[in-house]
């Protein structure tokens, strides 16, 4: 018989339909239908200036949006032939690994809940809140963060970020031990995960699968090791791999990857350079809104020496932080708020970067930049025709090849194995149906 699973089935996220061909309880074939959430991401990125695509990248893998932000910016920076500051590189690594941990916590918690382990879901969500608190303190948001910029970052790290993040590391390690105690020797969980959703290393490579799904087969490919970017080549970390390519090994790989991500966060926070402070911090401090009001009536004479007291969404964008995390190249970097509102050169620089028909203008050419997303290799291919808008933006979503192989993976398993296997894919609709 043929059995429809989804798109309204809760485990299918409302956007995937599997037509399973059954012989009793055994799946003898499966057709996977996607496309229910298509949002024209790539074409939307081609409609406006380069930085306008940043909010769209948030909506790709919305569980780890910082990695999407940073991957896109690295591709455009490769087009421009520019590099960022050392502190910016370290911050990008820290924020990427924070995102990876939140993604894996969500995947493991949701997958366990779909098999009845609701307590595990509550524990992982508790841990995820620590990381979201840290992310929100930096970006001003939890999911739709829009934090990266071509040439740098929206802002520097806030005061107390290191302590908050190290606390999240300690709390998460404790939670992971609790999760291991609940799952690793749980007979129901192990029996449902072991030897289900199996794929060989040869088939995984043939389909172009990467990330934890590939590493569960024993292939240790990781973009951070094989094609290092930012400062990953300076960090000490291991790439966990499995042996059997089944759902259980994918669970083990993700659990160990969180441990490795937290190792990297600790190293990066320890080694992160401070950066030069460019402005005398003993001068006056005024609210950002007051600076705007003063500038509107022409009272700009002393604003260059004033430090801005910004709200949480703008904290870190003031001049004394600006050079730490932003390129000094005026072709791509928005000036500090004090310069925008305090002198004509800064105001002109700001306008030239945001006005229609101006903005960032990479030379004609094309660039591809891969980063290690939570689901595997996340690549951005950007083509420039020399104008202020990208001619073409193409994203390689890591869960797309896995969904291509899903019908083959499900064949031979039981109906009850479909949900755990689909959960181990960690399919994110925004990334799949970009």
The CATH number for 175's domain is 1.10.645.10
Count of domains observed in the chain: 2
Taking only Cα atoms into account, the Rg of the chain, rounded to an integer number of angstroms, comes to 23
Shared-domain flag, residues 367 and 348: no
In the predicted model, residues of the chain with pLDDT beneath 50 are 276-282
Q: Identify which of 89, 181, 100 has the alpha carbon closest to the alpha carbon of residue 135.
A: 100
Shared-domain flag, residues 294 and 384: no
Shared-domain flag, residues 191 and 251: yes
pLDDT at 316: 66
pLDDT at 277: 27
- Report yes or no on 403 lying in a domain: no
Spatial neighbors of 370 by CB under 8 A, at least 6 apart, are: 71, 223, 227, 377, 378, 379, 396
Shared-domain flag, residues 148 and 294: no
Shared-domain flag, residues 157 and 303: no
pLDDT at 298: 73
- Report yes or no on 208 lying in a domain: yes
Shared-domain flag, residues 74 and 218: yes
- Report yes or no on 105 lying in a domain: yes
Shared-domain flag, residues 267 and 377: yes
pLDDT at 124: 96
Shared-domain flag, residues 294 and 347: yes
**Would you call the peptide bond into 389 cis, given omega within 30 degrees of 0 as the criterion?**
no
The DSSP code sequence of 230-291 is TTGGGS-------SS-SHHHHHHHHHHHHHHHHHHHHHHHHH-------S-TTS-EEEHHHH
Structural domain containing residue 64: 40-274+362-397+411-432
Shared-domain flag, residues 222 and 308: no
The number of beta carbons lying within 10 Å of the beta carbon of residue 182 is 15
Spatial neighbors of 218 by CB under 8 A, at least 6 apart, are: 201, 241, 242, 243, 245
pLDDT at 118: 94
pTM summary value? 0.88
Shared-domain flag, residues 307 and 259: no
Calculate ∠ Cα 107-112-117, nearest 5°: 150
Shared-domain flag, residues 330 and 368: no
Q: Identify which of 320, 340, 321 has the alpha carbon closest to the alpha carbon of residue 330.
A: 340
Shared-domain flag, residues 67 and 96: yes
Q: How far is Cα 265 from Cα 93, in angstroms, rounded to an integer?
A: 8
Q: How far is Cα 203 from Cα 276, in angstroms, rounded to an integer?
A: 51
- Report yes or no on 210 lying in a domain: yes
- Report yes or no on 206 lying in a domain: yes
- Report yes or no on 20 lying in a domain: no
- Report yes or no on 203 lying in a domain: yes
- Report yes or no on 417 lying in a domain: yes
Sole residue written with tokens 């996340």? 378
Contact 3, 19 (CB under 8 A): yes
Q: How far is Cα 333 from Cα 247, in angstroms, rounded to an integer?
A: 45
For residue 315, which phi and psi values (nearest 5 degrees)?
-60, 130
Three-class SS string for 357-426?
A: CCCCCCCCEEEEEEEEECCEEEEEEEEECCCCCCCEEEEECCHHHHHHHHHHHHCCCEHHHHHHHHHHHC
């Amino acid at each position: 018989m043929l059995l429809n699973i989804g798109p309204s089935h809760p485990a299918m996220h409302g956007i995937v339909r599997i037509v399973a061909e059954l012989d009793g309880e055994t799946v003898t074939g499966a057709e996977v239908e996607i496309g229910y959430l298509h949002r024209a991401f790539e074409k939307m990125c081609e409609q406006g200036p380069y930085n306008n695509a940043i909010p769209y990248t948030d909506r790709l893998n919305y569980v780890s949006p910082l990695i999407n932000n940073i991957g896109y910016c690295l591709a455009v920076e490769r087009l421009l032939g520019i590099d960022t500051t050392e502190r910016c590189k370290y911050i990008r690594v820290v924020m990427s690994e924070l995102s990876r941990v939140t993604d894996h916590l969500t995947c493991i918690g949701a997958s366990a809940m779909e098999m009845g382990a609701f307590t595990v879901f509550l524990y992982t969500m508790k841990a995820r809140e620590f990381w979201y608190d840290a992310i929100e303190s930096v970006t001003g948001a939890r999911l739709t963060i829009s934090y990266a910029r071509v040439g740098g970052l929206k802002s520097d790290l806030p005061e107390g970020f290191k302590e908050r993040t190290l606390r999240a590391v300690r709390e998460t390690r404790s939670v992971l031990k609790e999760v291991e105690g609940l799952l690793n020797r749980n007979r129901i969980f192990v029996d449902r995960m072991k030897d289900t959703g199996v794929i060989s290393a040869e088939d995984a490579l043939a389909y172009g699968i990467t990330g934890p799904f590939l590493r569960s087969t024993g292939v240790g490919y990781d973009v951070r090791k094989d094609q290092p970017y930012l400062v990953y080549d300076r960090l000490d970390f291991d790439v966990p791999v499995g042996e059997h390519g089944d759902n259980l090994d994918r669970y083990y790989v993700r659990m160990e990857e969180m441990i490795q991500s937290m190792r990297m966060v600790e190293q990066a926070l320890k080694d992160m350079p401070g950066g030069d402070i460019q402005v005398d911090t003993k001068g006056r401090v005024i609210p950002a809104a007051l600076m705007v009001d003063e500038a509107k009536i022409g009272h700009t004479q002393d604003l260059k020496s004033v430090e801005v007291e910004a709200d949480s969404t703008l904290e870190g964008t003031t001049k004394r932080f600006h050079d730490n995390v932003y390129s000094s190249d005026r072709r791509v970097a928005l000036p500090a708020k004090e310069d925008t509102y305090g002198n004509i050169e800064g105001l002109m620089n700001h306008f030239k970067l945001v006005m229609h028909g101006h903005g960032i203008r990479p030379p004609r050419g094309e660039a591809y930049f891969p980063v290690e997303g939570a689901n595997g290799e996340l690549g951005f291919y950007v083509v420039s025709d020399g104008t202020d808008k990208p001619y073409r933006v193409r994203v390689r979503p890591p869960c797309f090849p896995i969904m291509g192989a899903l019908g083959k993976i499900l064949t031979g398993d039981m109906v009850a194995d479909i949900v755990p296997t689909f959960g181990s894919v960690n399919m994110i609709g925004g990334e799949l149906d970009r």
